[in-house]
């Protein structure tokens, strides 16, 4: 394997990260629209992309190790180290562009993930408040293993 194969692996990883970003945005839109019915499908699709990313990461690591060996770089070599030790020619620029794009999409994913987590917590809180407002017994138990005596929802048992 050479630098061309590593570049192909980096393209594949970039495409998967962009797909992950799309799926996270899709999930965010569903949450913002209150369409919780489809959240489990969006979550499953996100998990599928993450699984594919794990495989792509392994392939990239193998390709990077081959390039590092060919270029005389100590393993395990990061993409930055490969860029620094690239021979004369276009590979430093090509790998530099891959690094820039990967860094950018990863940053966008981190931001979107934080927003999605906040929205999911809000949906969970609203659901808990709705159930508590219905006056339906939630089946909660005290620290002694007895059924809770009142119908209010409890997050923390204050009688401990």
Q: What is the tens place of the pLDDT at every residue in 99-149?
A: 999 999 999 999 988 887 887 788 778 777 877 777 655 566 666 767 665
Distance CA 53, CA 16 (A): 6
- 17-30 pLDDT, tens digit per residue, is 999 999 999 988 88
DSSP secondary structure string for all residues of 50-82: HHHHHHHHHHHHHHHHHHHHHHTPPSSPPHHHH
Both tokens of 40, joined, read 């489990």
Confidence band of 151 (pLDDT split at 50, 70, 90): low
| Residue 159 located in a structural domain | no
DSSP letter at 76 equals: S
| Residue 154 located in a structural domain | no
Distance CA 26, CA 103 (A): 21
* Cβ atoms within 10 Å of 93's Cβ, excluding its own: 11
- pLDDT at residue 113 in the model: 85
Is residue 85 within 8 Å of residue 31, measured between CB atoms?
A: no
- pLDDT at residue 137 in the model: 58
- pLDDT at residue 94 in the model: 96
DSSP secondary structure string for all residues of 9-36: HHHHHHHHHHHHHHHHHHHHHHHHTT-G
- 50-90 pLDDT, tens digit per residue, is 999 999 999 999 999 999 999 999 988 899 999 999 999 99
The number of distinct structural domains making up the chain is 1
DSSP letter at 152 equals: S
Domain range for 67: 3-133
| Residue 140 located in a structural domain | no
Is residue 152 within 8 Å of residue 138, measured between CB atoms?
A: no
158 CB contacts (<8 Å, ≥6 apart)? none
Q: Which residue has the higher pLDDT, 139 or 4?
A: 4
| Residue 157 located in a structural domain | no
127 CB contacts (<8 Å, ≥6 apart)? none
């Amino acid at each position: 394997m050479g630098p061309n194969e590593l570049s192909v692996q980096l393209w594949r990883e970039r495409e998967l990260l962009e797909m992950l970003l799309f799926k996270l945005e899709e999930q965010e839109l569903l949450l913002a629209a209150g369409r919780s019915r489809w959240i489990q499908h969006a979550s499953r699709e996100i998990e599928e992309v993450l699984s594919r990313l794990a495989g792509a990461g392994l392939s990239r690591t193998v390709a990077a190790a081959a390039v590092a060996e060919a270029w005389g770089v100590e393993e395990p070599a990061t993409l930055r180290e490969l860029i620094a030790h690239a021979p004369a020619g276009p590979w430093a620029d090509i790998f530099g562009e891959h690094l820039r794009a990967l860094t950018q999409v990863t940053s966008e994913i981190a931001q979107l993930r934080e927003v999605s987590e906040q929205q999911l917590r809000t949906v969970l809180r609203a659901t808990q408040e709705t159930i508590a407002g219905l006056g339906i017994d939630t089946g909660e138990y005290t620290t002694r293993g007895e059924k809770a005596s009142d119908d209010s929802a409890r997050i923390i048992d204050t009688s401990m």
